[in-house]
């Protein structure tokens, strides 16, 4: 039976409760957002005791659902001030699900400022001092924990950035090999975990078991439909396994939407050198691995293992967003330098998008010149040292930009825009502007129809149709995040109706009741409604659902495009929320 553990870090107590009817048929983002919206004062400081950190596997996680191993972590964000759910692969969600854990909720904060670790197993949750882990990066932290508890456990941890409670801090989740390469990156939730005094959570699934669907036959039929659709789709069955997420670099660059040098240009002359195709060749030449699964049960396998010139492991991927943020956005075309920065981000516990975008803003401010890979690496090294400059870098692009008197800061609600320029890909611009969590491509991936021709086609350079596109994508994405499925299953869902049928059959089989497409999308609508209401109570209004001014006034080459979706239209994205 599913259980929720409430861990109070103020008095170091642990309380066990059943989910009840309210939370019985939800999970992942649906659960984290519902709990934060119901229990956290919207106007509280994100690092105060009143904030909570909710860690929840998805509804289908642990059932054997294809690509169903996603973990959601939610809180009020110290970066944006909004509600936040951050999502990750890795083994953490599967390990929690195997123990029948619906959620772990971190509450309060230790008055003594001490650092602790949580040990989670079939006996429950135990709080222990973590003095020996203080000040360590994620790699050394996880190495010590695996040495103590064995290589079958999953670890959820923070690096130095989280300990320092920096607003761009991430939460690391170990992958199949036990490396801290998968991150709940966006929104600074690592700082919230740090404010709770929790350095690491060790999850030992030994003795646990897979969730048993109420109707196994229906569940298996649905899983087969989804898996077949994923294998047949050219993106999930061919492109992502072979070239990884960075297959998008050449595609988005050709479309003129590849943000370059702090969003000043839409194409980067060095794209080929950092492209997914080039990355693929380098990885194979050095004996690395392509088509790597970040968690057991992943059938897409878009991850990879990157080695240096001497054949030594450096990092995963790096992923498309990471390559862009530390590459084109900074004018850098050196894959090895980008891989090194990715490793540093993961070790210090930084969101790679925010870290790279912040370096881009630092370059705009003249701290180091565009294209200076060595200078960018030195900026990241400052984070590990905890210097004043390092703390600015770890606080995100908006804070650093303001500190240096910048006016061209590519953020929405304090969070950096990712690797698609909203002037050339206007659907994603609507998502950036209106997402409940600040600029976030994963909140509603309008790039699929705008550029990739997946799920139909909406002209990326015209404002028409973009609001409806983003709205539908945001609803569907919230449902996917709640189910615990990888966002990339959406490619198959958009082009093959049997994929969505398969998801609904898995959910119906799990619950033992018929589950329709309307039921599935209702999860997303309810989740977004809860998030919007929280943000409104926190003081956010339609005036906050806007892109930076330069997106509306500066023409982006090569299309000389501006973002011209009317404010009145942006205000209609969430017209389904009462």
Partner residues linked to 328 by β-bridges: none
Q: What is the model's pLDDT at position 374? A: 98
Distance of alpha carbon 41 from the chain centroid: 24
Dihedral Cα 470, 474, 480, 486, nearest 10 deg: 60
**Cα–Cα distance between 139 and 350 in angstroms, integer?**
13
**Cα–Cα distance between 424 and 417 in angstroms, integer?**
13
**Cα–Cα distance between 377 and 375 in angstroms, integer?**
5
Q: What is the model's pLDDT at position 574? A: 97
CATH pick for 3-203 out of 3.20.20.70, 3.60.20.10, 3.60.9.10, 3.40.50.2000: 3.60.9.10
Q: What is the model's pLDDT at position 239? A: 95
Residue 541 burial class via C-beta count within 10 angstroms: exposed 0-12, middle 13-18, buried 19 and up: exposed
* Architecture field, domain 258-421: Orthogonal Bundle (1.10)
Domain boundaries, the chain: 3-203, 258-421
Type and span of the H or E element at 411? strand 411-412
Q: Tokens for 488, please give them.
A: 């990339």
Q: What is the model's pLDDT at position 20? A: 85
Q: What DSSP line would sit under 18-76, residue for residue?
A: --HHHHTT--HHHHHHHHHHHHS-TTS-TTSTT--EEEEE-TTTTTT-TT---EEEEEE
**Cα–Cα distance between 378 and 341 in angstroms, integer?**
10
**Cα–Cα distance between 363 and 323 in angstroms, integer?**
17
Q: Give per-residue pLDDT as tens, 497-515.
A: 999 999 999 999 999 999 9
**Cα–Cα distance between 166 and 46 in angstroms, integer?**
11
Q: Give per-residue pLDDT as tens, 31-87.
A: 999 999 999 999 999 999 999 999 999 999 999 999 999 999 999 999 999 999 999
Q: What is the model's pLDDT at position 22? A: 86
Burial 53-73, CB ≥16 within 10 A → b, else e: bbbbbbbbbbbbbbbbbbbbb
Q: What is the model's pLDDT at position 1? A: 67
Question: Residue ranges of the chain with pLDDT lower than 50?
Answer: none
**Cα–Cα distance between 4 and 32 in angstroms, integer?**
12
Residue 472 burial class via C-beta count within 10 angstroms: exposed 0-12, middle 13-18, buried 19 and up: middle
Q: What is the number of alpha carbons within 13 Å of residue 456 lying toward its C-beta?
A: 8
| 52 phi/psi in degrees, rounded to 5 | -130, 150
- How do beta strands 71-76 and 13-17 pair? unpaired
Q: Quick one: which of 26, 156, 36 has its CA closest to 94?
A: 156
């Amino acid at each position: 039976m599913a259980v929720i553990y409430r861990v109070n870090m103020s008095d170091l107590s642990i309380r066990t409760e059943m989910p009840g009817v309210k939370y019985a048929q939800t999970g992942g983002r649906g659960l984290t957002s519902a709990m934060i919206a119901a229990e956290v004062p919207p106007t509280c400081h994100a690092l105060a005791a009143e904030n909570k950190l909710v860690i929840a596997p998805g509804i289908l996680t642990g059932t054997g659902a294809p690509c169903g191993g996603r973990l959601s972590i939610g809180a009020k964000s110290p970066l944006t001030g909004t509600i936040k759910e951050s999502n990750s692969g890795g083994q953490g969600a599967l390990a929690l699900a195997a123990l029948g854990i619906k959620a772990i909720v971190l509450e309060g904060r230790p008055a003594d400022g001490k650092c602790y670790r949580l040990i989670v197993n079939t006996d429950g949750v135990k709080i222990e001092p973590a003095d020996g882990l203080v000040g360590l990066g994620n790699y050394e932290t996880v190495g010590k924990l695996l040495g103590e508890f064995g290589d079958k456990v999953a670890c959820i941890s923070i690096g130095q950035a989280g300990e320092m409670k920096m607003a761009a801090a991430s939460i690391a989740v170990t992958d199949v090999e036990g490396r801290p390469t998968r991150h709940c990156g966006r929104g600074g939730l690592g700082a919230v975990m740090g404010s709770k005094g929790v350095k690491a959570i060790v999850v030992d699934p030994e003795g646990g078991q897979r969730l048993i669907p109420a109707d196994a036959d229906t569940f298996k039929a649905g899983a087969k439909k989804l898996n077949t659709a994923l294998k047949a789709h050219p993106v999930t069955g061919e492109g992502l396994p072979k070239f990884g997420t960075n297959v998008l670099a050449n595609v988005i660059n050709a479309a003129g939407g590849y943000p370059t040098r702090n969003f000043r240009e839409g194409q980067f002359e060095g794209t080929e050198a950092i492209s997914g195709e080039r990355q693929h060749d380098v990885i194979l030449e050095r004996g690395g691995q392509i088509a790597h699964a970040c968690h057991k049960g992943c059938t897409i396998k878009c991850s990879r293992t990157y080695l240096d010139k001497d054949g030594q492991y450096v990092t995963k991927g790096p992923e498309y967003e990471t390559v862009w943020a530390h590459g084109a956005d900074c004018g850098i075309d050196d894959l090895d330098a980008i891989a090194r920065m990715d490793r540093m981000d993961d070790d210090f516990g930084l969101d790679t998008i925010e870290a790279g975008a912040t370096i881009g803003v630092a370059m705009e401010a003249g701290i180091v010149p565009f294209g200076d890979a060595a200078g960018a690496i030195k900026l990241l090294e400052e984070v590990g040292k905890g210097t004043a400059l390092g703390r600015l870098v770890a606080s995100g692009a908006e804070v650093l930009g303001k500190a240096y008197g910048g006016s061209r800061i590519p953020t929405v609600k304090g969070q950096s825009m990712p690797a698609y320029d909203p002037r050339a890909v206007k659907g994603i611009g609507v998502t950036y502007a209106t997402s409940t969590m600040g600029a976030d491509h994963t909140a509603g991936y309008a790039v699929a129809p705008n550029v990739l021709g997946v799920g139909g086609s909406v002209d990326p350079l015209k404002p028409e149709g973009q609001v409806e596109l983003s709205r539908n994508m945001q609803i569907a994405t919230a449902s996917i995040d709640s189910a615990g499925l990888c966002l990339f299953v959406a490619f198959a869902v958009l082009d093959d109706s049997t994929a969505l049928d398969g998801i609904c059959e898995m959910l119906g089989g799990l619950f033992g009741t018929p589950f329709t497409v309307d039921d599935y999308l209702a999860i997303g609508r309810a989740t977004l409604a809860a998030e919007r209401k929280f943000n409104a109570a926190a003081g956010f209004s339609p005036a906050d659902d806007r892109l930076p001014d330069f997106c509306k006034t500066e023409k982006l080459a090569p299309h000389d495009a501006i973002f011209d979706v009317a404010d009145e239209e942006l205000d209609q994205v969430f017209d389904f929320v009462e």
